[in-house]
Chains A and B, each alone.
Chain A
């Protein structure tokens, strides 16, 4: 059975939002910069709460930030 994958467009969205820094995004969503780095590298799958905060920080929908692939 193939494993599901969750991709994200955080890096792209940061640049689309005036080259928002990782530190700035981290403080907006309430996590550490290390977690933003891990998310961008695809090394962390966040909680639904953090995912929503992320989408809200960029002013987009959840699926604009995270994509679920089977």
Chain B
């Protein structure tokens, strides 16, 4: 298994841990939705922020390691990474656009002109998590499929 594959699996692992933690919180808090309970809401935000930081940090570390040790990644790894990044960028842009659209429609229909300051930040974090997650999943799919250089 190449370094890029390992990175992708670890990324999925972090996301899986986030989902499990979120489910545990949901079970502990019962059927309270995050916007109804301040503690739960903040815990969820912290979980998202922690997962995002872990994913970004891991990408930076593996990027540096792959640049320093050329034998860790070759042209096939780079070709797969390029393709996975293209897909991930498209999916995350779409996710952010869809969330902004939902937010705008919700607030316009509600007659409110102000949006809580943490909403755009939350959308950016979701966009980042979607980007890294899509990149990991696409990379793992491409490692099992036929890929050509360039």
Give A residues with C-beta under 8 Å from B: 30-32, 34-35, 38, 42-47, 49-50
Contact = CB atoms under 8 A, between A and B. Distances in A.
A50 B74 CA distance: 10
A34 B1 contact: yes
B75 A46 contact: yes
B149 A46 contact: yes
Nearest to A6: B148
Interface string B47-74: 0000000000000000000000011111
Contacts of B76: 31-32, 34-35, 38, 44, 46
Contacts of B70: 30
Of residues B5, B74, B147, which shows the largest number of chain A Cβ atoms within 10 Å of its Cβ?
B74
Given A32-B74, A46-B149, 5 more contacts: A32-B73, A34-B2, A34-B5, A35-B75, A44-B76
A28 B148 CA distance: 21
Contacts of B5: 34
Interface of B: 1-2, 5, 70-77, 144-150
A43 B147 contact: yes
Nearest to A48: B149
Given A31-B74, A31-B76, A35-B74, A47 B149 contact: yes
Cβ-closest 7 pairs across A and B: A45-B148, A31-B74, A47-B149, A35-B76, A34-B2, A32-B74, A43-B146
Contact of B2 (A30, A32, A42, A49): A32
Contacts, number: 46
B71 A44 contact: no
A35 B3 CA distance: 12
A31 B70 CA distance: 9
A46 B148 CA distance: 6
A34 B145 CA distance: 13
Contacts of B77: 32, 35
A44 B150 contact: no
Contacts of A45: 146-149
A43 B145 contact: yes
